[in-house]
Chain A
Amino acid sequence: DAGVTQSPTHLIKTRGQQVTLRCSPKSGHDTVSWYQQALGQGPQFIFQYYEEEERQRGNFPDRFSGHQFPNYSSELNVNALLLGDSALYLCASSLETSGKSRDTQYFGPGTRLTVL
């Protein structure tokens, strides 16, 4: 059973650049959520995608955007990178049940982004 996969594993960018991170959900899952985890902190919710639409968004600026494809995979885009965007970016997948988000979320290994 394929778990959640993310690419790339590591990424180094400079301030002002743009980055795209990719996620494939666990087999059978249809919902993808993205989290940012700063060093020594718990993950912070960025947004969630279901049926190719952003369903809910956390307290992140518009520089953070995403997309979900018909095969349920997802991308996270961050524009105008700041030093403070350096973090582990985690993708989590889950299965919508009866139109309500009841199932818990399974995480991928993350993409470590360093902004210089």
Chain B
Amino acid sequence: QKEVEQDPGPLSVPEGAIVSLNCTYSNSAFQYFMWYRQYSRKGPELLMYTYSSGNKEDGRFTAQVDKSSKYISLFIRDSQPSDSATYLCAMKIEYGNKLVFGAGTILRVKS
């Protein structure tokens, strides 16, 4: 079993829809949770960074962490065609050096 599970999709939605992306994990020691966006053949770009449980909002993006369920989510409001990309969740333990990634979810927003 992988430490971090993420549905690879693809997830296809119409422009303007609310998108929900999710990851589950097995290591209860994870304390830092990140979402990266990766366009085709490019490096990952940091979107959201959350420590421990709770919600964090930044513009159209909201990240949620539920440590009791070992479940994290990224919500995208008013999705745009430019949001079409692969979304990677990543996690790190306290004082850890490496990020552990999910496999990524491919998102397609249709205009």
**Inter-chain contact A55/B42, CB cutoff 8 Å:** no
Q: How far is the CB of A40 from chain B (nearest CB, A)?
A: 7
Residues of A within 8 A of B6 (CB): 42
User: Which A-chain residue is minimally distant from B106 (CB atoms)?
Assistant: A40
Q: How far is the CB of B11 from chain A (nearest CB, A)?
A: 15
- Complex: how many Å from CA A45 to CA B32? 16
**Inter-chain contact A45/B99, CB cutoff 8 Å:** yes
B60 within 8 A of A: no
Residue-by-residue, is B94-111 near A (CB-CB < 8 Å gives 1, otherwise 0)? Answer: 011111111110000000
Chain A positions 89-109 with a Cβ under 8 Å from a chain B Cβ: 90, 92, 100-102, 104-109
A104-B49, A109-B43, A110-B43 given; A43·B101 CB < 8 A: yes
Count of chain A residues near B, Cβ 8 A: 28
A42-B103, A42-B104 given; A107·B44 CB < 8 A: yes
User: Which A-chain residue is minimally distant from B34 (CB atoms)?
Assistant: A104
User: Which A-chain residue is minimally distant from B88 (CB atoms)?
Assistant: A42
A20 within 8 A of B: no
B8 within 8 A of A: yes
Interface contacts (Cβ under 8 Å), in number, total: 62
Residues of A within 8 A of B71 (CB): none
Q: List 15 A–B pairs whose Cβ atoms lie within 8 Å, in order of A's numbering.
A: A33-B97, A40-B8, A40-B103, A41-B103, A43-B99, A48-B98, A55-B97, A88-B41, A104-B99, A106-B46, A108-B43, A109-B43, A110-B42, A110-B43, A112-B41
Residues of B within 8 A of A58 (CB): 98
A56 within 8 A of B: yes
B45 within 8 A of A: yes
**Inter-chain contact B88/A107, CB cutoff 8 Å:** no
A40-B8, A107-B43 given; A33·B98 CB < 8 A: yes
7 further A-B contacts with Cβ under 8 Å, apart from A42-B104, A43-B101, A56-B98, are A41-B104, A45-B98, A56-B97, A104-B34, A105-B46, A107-B36, A107-B43
User: Which A-chain residue is minimally distant from B99 (CB atoms)?
Assistant: A105
**Inter-chain contact B42/A109, CB cutoff 8 Å:** yes
Residue-by-residue, is A1-17 near B (CB-CB < 8 Å gives 1, otherwise 0)? Answer: 00010100000000000
